[in-house]
Amino acid sequence: MAVNEDKQNFSHPIYQYLEKLPGVDVGLTLADQVLTWSQLNSLHLFPMATSCCGIEFMAAACSRFDVDQIGSIARGTPRQSDVMIIAGTITVKMAPRVKKLWDQMPEPKWAIAMGSCAISGDFYRDIYSVVPGVDTFMPVDVYVPGCPPNPEALLMGLRRLQEKIRKKRSGEWVEPELRPAPPGLRMPSLPRLGDPSRDPGLDQAQLDAVLNLDPGGMLRRSEGT
């Protein structure tokens, strides 16, 4: 049975029909449109899950929610991923390792802070051993608030990231996301990356901590110590 497409109300994401002839359809597209379409629909996720938000990430990958439906798939190595999802609390000791994994990811890459602990430290933000938000040592493209956010919220965050990628590839201005401000919680004492009030010495100190890690994850001692 032939399908009549004369009254179609959709457009193809890659190409537009140039001409329809008996037995053949001619389409026209651009290489950039193909690259944008493939990049949007093949996001490889690197889960940096440390606590309860990681369970919600697992639920999003199961059949009920199926994050694969938008072309995303979890990978076990940062070198094959382009989206890091930080889901859970990050401690001061873990932060240089997370930053090192982020630096190992190839460009272009993006980061999603999933849950209030990754966004601001939440309940643990004033503990000396907890980082008050991952954006204090690495850039974050999308914030997914919640304690923990459910799989639908994570899927919506990935949709927002796809829209940001589409706009960036088309040359449009992409407005940076603002960190959600949960009611009743203070802003962290450590300014986020890119904040004008941030001490540049923090950037160098965090960089030195990463560079001084040996392959075994231990800090190398400098000469004379």
Helix, strand or coil, per DSSP, at residue 49: strand
Residues 6+ apart with CB under 8 A from 43: 70, 71, 72, 82, 83, 158, 161, 162
- Among residues 209, 224, 212, 173, the alpha carbon closest in space to that of 96 is found at 209
Backbone angles phi, psi at 125, to 5 degrees: -65, -25
CATH number at residue 77: 3.40.50.12280
Please, is 120 exposed, middle or buried when counting C-beta atoms within 10 Å of its C-beta (0-12, 13-18, 19+)?
buried
Residues of the domain holding 83: 44-170+201-211
pLDDT digits (tens, 9 = 90+) for 137-169: 999 999 999 888 888 999 999 989 988 888 887
Q: Which residue has the tokens 């802003």?
A: 187
| Structural domains counted in the chain | 1
pLDDT digits (tens, 9 = 90+) for 105-143: 998 899 999 998 899 888 787 788 889 889 999 999 999
Residue 49 lies in a domain: yes
pLDDT value at residue 222: 55
Residue 54 lies in a domain: yes
Residue 123 lies in a domain: yes
pTM over 0.85: no
Do the beta carbons of residue 91 and residue 131 sit within 8 Å? yes
Residue 73 lies in a domain: yes
CA–CA distance from 63 to each of 144, 188, 216 (Å)? 21, 38, 37
Residue 26 lies in a domain: no
Residue 98 lies in a domain: yes
